[in-house]
A and B are shown apart, each in its own frame.
Chain A
Amino acid sequence: MIGVAPKETSRGGLLKALSANEAVAEAVKDLDVDVIAAYPITPQTTVVEKLAEYVANGLLDAEFVPVESEHSALSVVLGASAVGARSFTATSSQGLIYMHEMLHIASGLRLPIVMSVAMRALSAPISIWNDHSDVMNVRDSGWIIYFVSSAQEAYDTTLMAYRLAEDPSVLLPVMVAYDGFIASHTIEPVSVEGRDAALDFAPKRVTWETLDPKNPVTMGAITSPDYYYEIKYQQVDAMKKALERARDVEREFGNRFGRGYGLVEGYMVEDAEAALLVTASYWDNVRIAVDLARKKGLKAGALKLRLYRPFPREELLDSIKNLKVLGVIDRAISYGATPSGPLAVEIIAAIRERSNVAVQSIVAGIGQRTVYIEDYLKLFERLKEIGDRGERPDTTLFYGVRA
């Protein structure tokens, strides 16, 4: 169902001024994580620095392992998880791609690892600035993926991530992704719930198979064509269960802490004649643009996709049911694909048989090319035009490139 905008709350928590990076670190501390693997990469570095401080000051009792590469970061975390430790690491961009091989192995071995990603553009050319090319490139690695838009949402989703990952019917690793710099370095008020509440919401219970001398098992055997497909199909089923459980977790979190997000969030879409779907931090400005557009007489609306894998098709269909046209903003390029916005392609495929909404793929914000509120207004106008003319767009709008 479409979620509601976050309310202020707190039942015993503290209100702190934090960036998304710092909020994630607070969550990891509150969740009493056992093993942290740390490798620095802009713009994630503050996460591991904060965690190092907590461990150094005895605020978090964890093994802090300063690894020699991101590939080893995920390897260390995987090993720790395999013996039943709650583990965490964080990365961005090149680091995420460096550990790509390990992403598949972590999900294939069904280990409940949680990792935060401060999204950043991929080389080449090298860029430290934000876009979604890193996460889009690992979307089929078998991880559950959340796009979060604020420091509060980053804190909250990290709590939900462990709850979901460690659920015995799921047992899949979870990625909590937010915009590098835009969210990772921007300070916002965050309600930090504290250790007792966090552990009450996501208790530490080893719900998965572990390496234990008292009960020796073999993990990672070489698997012939006679068995590989079945073991991979287990992951397909786990993703289905993850979707159901994600809904439960959202509800439980909302009841417990008073902040509900929903897998898809809508803003004024019920009567919108032009709507934009965005992910992560574009959510703030696009809603301001909706208000401005409506003042000018254009009935604009906006949608935020929060859970990306597994894909919340029912929530999406429900949220677009009154629309004629939807613009999907992608901050990554699927080179050579038609259209070239990866999220747009997925949405078109997901809704094709059950909705007649026209979808315009919009690529914007590449390498943190700024999208201003005026740009959203221009996009709303273009989308309204498409709707009025009954156009069925099938090309990609590369918005903002000097061409």
Chain B
Amino acid sequence: MSFKIRTIRDIPREELIAGGHNLCAGCTAGTIVRHLLKVAGRNTIVVTATGCVEVSTTPYPYTSWHVPWIHVAFENAAAVAAGIESGIKALARKGLVDSKERINVIALAGDGGTFDIGFQALSGMLERGHRVLYVVYDNEAYMNTGIQRSSATPPGAWTTTTPVGSRLRGEHRPKKSLIDIAIAHRIPYAASANPAYPVDMARKFEKGLSVEGPALVHVLMPCTTGWKFEPRYGIRIARLAVETGMWINWEYENGALRVTVKVPRRKPVEAYLRMQGRFSHLTKEEIEEIQRMVDLEVERVNKLVGETAIGPVVRDY
């Protein structure tokens, strides 16, 4: 299958999500959603779960969306999208809608509405094989309600429900691996992406929309408010996540797993952690512990993809 997006010049110019929304200054979700819609085009219906994007882009009577859009509830973006896809399928079969024009159905949710409360609906939709692209913008906590931990919150992170005190020092539970969960549902396409790698991200949206079945794209979304950094660093931090191995851009397509953004020489995790206020309490030992966890995950992924896609840490960068 030939894809349209090869270089940065191929990303379409038309803005299908208008500015003037209420996302924080420097919110990388804005970047991600702009590109998602550029790739999907006008023939798209979007379902968004309750969360930052939903609330900020549709303050009644205003809306940022240039495509048909619906918000229903927090936990069921996947189920509503499945219903939309089923409705279109049935109507097309009965000749009540034009079946030649393919309408993209996208479910968009945050990590809260995906990893936790939205998990059941997501699993059901993936398992039933609906032709829906599910995009999760992962800012690693319930940000819209003021920075509470989710099962996507990484170890060590401060949140209001995993605060740093004398007894407990931030989140201690590991982050769920969504890609592995998606693969376990035997879907045709699953990938992780990052807004600092826009062409890789756009291609993954494109592939996700082209498969005959469910697709899941898990995107890291650095959050200036919740991760506590100056708004201008959003993309730089996203890039550092990949450069330190704390975020891996990989892809599962027709049973084959590969890393799409290789990192031959990794930066130490401090480079990423030290830029964020939510990690500012970490001691040298705690950072070493996080480094060890990242090393293990890198080893696991390298084994799964059958090559050293992510290389060793090089300290004098």
Physical contact A–B (CB less than 8 Å): yes
* Contact surface of A with B, Cβ cutoff 8 Å: 34-35, 37, 61-63, 65-69, 71-72, 75-85, 87, 101-102, 105, 109, 204, 211-213, 215-224, 227
A34-B85 Cα distance, complex, nearest whole Å: 12
Interface pair A62/B82, CB less than 8 Å apart: no
For chain B, residues 47 to 104, give those with C-beta under 8 angstroms from any C-beta of chain A. 47, 54-55, 58-63, 65-73, 75-76, 79-91, 93-94, 96-97, 103
B141 an interface residue at 8 Å Cβ cutoff? no
Interface pair A87/B87, CB less than 8 Å apart: yes
Interface pair B68/A220, CB less than 8 Å apart: no
A211-B58 Cα distance, complex, nearest whole Å: 16
Interface segment, one of B117-125, B167-175, B236-244: B117-125
Interface pair A221/B96, CB less than 8 Å apart: no
Contact of A35 among B44, B72, B86 (CB under 8 A): B86
Could you list some 6 contacts between A and B, CB below 8 A? A68-B120, A79-B70, A80-B83, A218-B68, A219-B69, A221-B60
B128 an interface residue at 8 Å Cβ cutoff? yes
Interface pair B73/A105, CB less than 8 Å apart: yes
Majority DSSP secondary structure for residues of B touching A: mixed
Interface pair B80/A79, CB less than 8 Å apart: yes
B32 an interface residue at 8 Å Cβ cutoff? no
A61-B94 Cα distance, complex, nearest whole Å: 8
Contacts A71-B75, A82-B84; A34 near B124 (Cβ below 8 A): no
Which of B65, B81, B90, B96 gathers most chain A CB within 10 Å?
A: B90
Which residues of chain A are near B60, meaning CB under 8 Å? 221-224, 227
Interface pair A63/B86, CB less than 8 Å apart: yes
With CB as the reference atom, state the residue of chain A lying closest to B16: A216
Which residues of chain B are near A61, meaning CB under 8 Å? 90, 93-94
Interface pair A84/B96, CB less than 8 Å apart: yes
B43 an interface residue at 8 Å Cβ cutoff? yes
With CB as the reference atom, state the residue of chain B lying closest to A224: B60
Q: How far is the CB of B287 from chain A (nearest CB, A)?
A: 39
Q: How far is the CB of A339 from chain B (nearest CB, A)?
A: 35
Interface pair B128/A75, CB less than 8 Å apart: no
With CB as the reference atom, state the residue of chain B lying closest to A219: B70
8 closest residue pairs by CB, A with B? A79-B83, A80-B87, A68-B124, A85-B87, A220-B71, A75-B79, A76-B83, A211-B68
Q: A69-B120, A221-B58 are in contact. List 6 more A-B contacts (CB 8 A).
A: A67-B82, A79-B79, A84-B91, A213-B68, A218-B58, A220-B71
* Contact surface of B with A, Cβ cutoff 8 Å: 42-45, 47, 54-55, 58-63, 65-73, 75-76, 79-91, 93-94, 96-97, 103, 120-121, 123-124, 127-128
Which residues of chain A are near B76, meaning CB under 8 Å? 71-72, 75, 102
A213-B46 Cα distance, complex, nearest whole Å: 10
A388-B63 Cα distance, complex, nearest whole Å: 65
Which residues of chain A are near B90, meaning CB under 8 Å? 34-35, 61-63, 80, 85
Interface pair A218/B69, CB less than 8 Å apart: yes
Interface pair A75/B59, CB less than 8 Å apart: no
Which residues of chain A are near B45, meaning CB under 8 Å? 83, 211, 213
Interface pair B83/A222, CB less than 8 Å apart: no
A84-B94 Cα distance, complex, nearest whole Å: 12
Contacts A68-B120, A72-B76, A218-B63; A35 near B68 (Cβ below 8 A): no
Interface pair A211/B96, CB less than 8 Å apart: no
A102-B60 Cα distance, complex, nearest whole Å: 21
Interface pair B86/A65, CB less than 8 Å apart: yes
Which residues of chain A are near B69, meaning CB under 8 Å? 211, 216-219
With CB as the reference atom, state the residue of chain B lying closest to A84: B91
Which residues of chain A are near B128, meaning CB under 8 Å? 65-66
Interface pair B65/A218, CB less than 8 Å apart: yes
Interface pair A81/B61, CB less than 8 Å apart: no
Interface pair B103/A80, CB less than 8 Å apart: no
Which of A65, A83, A216 gathers most chain B CB within 10 Å?
A: A83
Interface pair B59/A224, CB less than 8 Å apart: yes
With CB as the reference atom, state the residue of chain B lying closest to A73: B79
Which residues of chain B are near A82, meaning CB under 8 Å? 70, 80, 83-84, 87
Q: How far is the CB of A133 from chain B (nearest CB, A)?
A: 24
Which residues of chain B are near A71, meaning CB under 8 Å? 75-76, 79, 121
Contact of A79 among B59, B66, B82, B127 (CB under 8 A): B82
With CB as the reference atom, state the residue of chain A lying closest to B61: A227
Q: How far is the CB of B305 from chain A (nearest CB, A)?
A: 31
Q: How far is the CB of B15 from chain A (nearest CB, A)?
A: 14
Which of A71, A75, A82, A219 gathers most chain B CB within 10 Å?
A: A75
Interface pair B87/A222, CB less than 8 Å apart: no
Which of B55, B87, B121 gathers most chain A CB within 10 Å?
A: B87
Q: How far is the CB of B90 from chain A (nearest CB, A)?
A: 4
With CB as the reference atom, state the residue of chain B lying closest to A64: B86
With CB as the reference atom, state the residue of chain B lying closest to A212: B68
With CB as the reference atom, state the residue of chain B lying closest to A85: B87
Q: How far is the CB of A106 from chain B (nearest CB, A)?
A: 9
Q: How far is the CB of B145 from chain A (nearest CB, A)?
A: 13
Contact of B73 among A63, A102, A215, A222 (CB under 8 A): A102
With CB as the reference atom, state the residue of chain B lying closest to A226: B60
Which residues of chain A are near B44, meaning CB under 8 Å? 213
Which residues of chain A are near B94, meaning CB under 8 Å? 34, 61
Q: How far is the CB of A192 from chain B (nearest CB, A)?
A: 22
Interface pair B73/A101, CB less than 8 Å apart: yes
Which of B69, B70, B85, B128 gathers most chain A CB within 10 Å?
A: B70
